[in-house]
Amino acid sequence: MPRSTAVHASHFLPSVMLLLAGLAAAYVKDLNVFFTSLFNVLPTLVLLLGGSYCAVYRRQRELFLMITVYIAYFLLSTQADFYRDHGKVRQDAAVVFHLVCLLLPLLFGVFAAWQERTHLFQDMVARFAVLLAVGSVALGLEQSYPEALLDWLAEIRWPALHGAWMSLIQLSYPVFLAAFMLLTVQYWRNPRPLHAAQLIGLLGLFWMLPMTFILPFTLNIMCSQVMLMIAAAVAHEAYQMAFRDELTGLPGRRALNERMQRLGRNYVLAMTDVDHFKKFNDTHGHDVGDQVLRLVASKLAKVSGGGRAYRYGGEEFAVVFAGKSLEECMPHLEVIREVIANYNIHLRNPESRPQDDQQGRQRRSGSAATSVSVTISIGVAERQADQRTPDEVLKSADQALYAAKGAGRNCVMAAGQTARRGAVRTNEAAG
């Protein structure tokens, strides 16, 4: 899973912050009238706003996650309000609470792992059918056989595994664990802000249920926070789609344009191009070409000196150094150029791909793999007094890039310098 720690942290951070805020708010005592009124309407407000947002952008999975959480909130809120108003629980409180403790993690896990793979309308009907079927069976059993259902739910089936700390029915714990493992595997296979939000949201629900009748407004606050996590994850992914390049993982052209509007007066821009990329692509195929772009992007992402790399388009990348001078940036760009030039890419025949990792390591270390390398050319420009906009500086960097190409490629050239004085080259420059 080639993802950096920073990327994973960015996936989890919004949801963790919402969870911590919910926990802090739940433990606050003596709330004033404003917050009391707010918490009473907050879950419904979040569902209406967040659900509408998901519906407009056709995010069915997220919509049904919110609906599932809200149904649990509605059922338990009715019981909690009765308890606060009368000082005792309703006659059906135990069976309703136990049903929610069992079905909430079950449906949350099912809808969280259920990806949209069919026609949107058919997918919505299928999800609604599952929700309706489970709800109808639970309601029918609760109405027809309340005592028998309560005994079945509350039964301790595995006494050796039951602890005094368990405040929920025993059946709910393996369901929560199974849902958590399922969502963990889902995130591991496909790291996304949504999958991270689902994991943190499930933890929030697990904490919430035992506190429903203990801490005031715990139910309102945590259900709202879980739904907010899901809505925030949708917004986060929408931002990534607009501002981050899917192939390389780098910020894209739109993110570069936005960053260039906030550079200040002193900065350096560099334009980078993969040498002979079209020829390489035609020779080895587009899959290998994509591998090359990802490799170059991964190296550029690690540029030192305070630089930030962006995917400009095609095989071109841009690097931004804010608050830096040309002399400060040139050595860092030269290091990246050299790292990429010295990196060997091993090409293997997909039809003879080894069946296990050991064979793969042996083959990569042997002669079965074809080793190729790529180089990049870099043009650099520093903002001058007569350049009013970053676009003019970027144009100068682009012109320097063309000069680097003309100087033999695999070199770094600054704007206004000649190949003899300004280019930094290797002896084996790509032809």
Across the strands, what pairs with 310?
318
Angstrom distance (rounded) from CA 290 to CA 284: 11
H-helix or E-strand spanning residue 411: strand 411-414
Helices (H), 285-427: 286-300, 326-341, 357-365, 390-406, 419-422
H-helix or E-strand spanning residue 79: helix 60-86
Q: Supply 385's token pair.
A: 């007094």
Sign of the dihedral defined by the CA atoms of residues 425, 427, 430, 431, in that order: positive
Angstrom distance (rounded) from CA 193 to CA 235: 9
Backbone phi and psi for residue 294, each to the nearest 5 degrees, phi listed first: -65, -40
Where does residue 375 fall: left (phi above 0), alpha (psi -120 to 50 degrees), or beta otherwise?
Answer: beta
Coil, strand or helix at 414: strand
Longest dimension (CA), the chain: 91
Q: Supply 154's token pair.
A: 């509350």
Q: In terms of Cα–Cα distance, which of 316, 224, 256 is closest to 25? A: 224
Which residues are identified as catalytic? Answer: 315
Q: In terms of Cα–Cα distance, which of 427, 326, 343, 306 is closest to 378? A: 326
Q: Supply 308's token pair.
A: 């930030």
**Angle separating helix axes 120-144 and 60-86, nearest 10 degrees:** 30
Angstrom distance (rounded) from CA 407 to CA 422: 10
Angstrom distance (rounded) from CA 230 to CA 74: 18
**Angle ∠(155,107,119) on CA atoms, nearest 5:** 155
Let me know how many helices (H) and strands (E) the chain has, helices first. 16, 8
**Angle separating helix axes 253-260 and 390-406, nearest 10 degrees:** 120
Backbone phi and psi for residue 307, each to the nearest 5 degrees, phi listed first: -80, 155
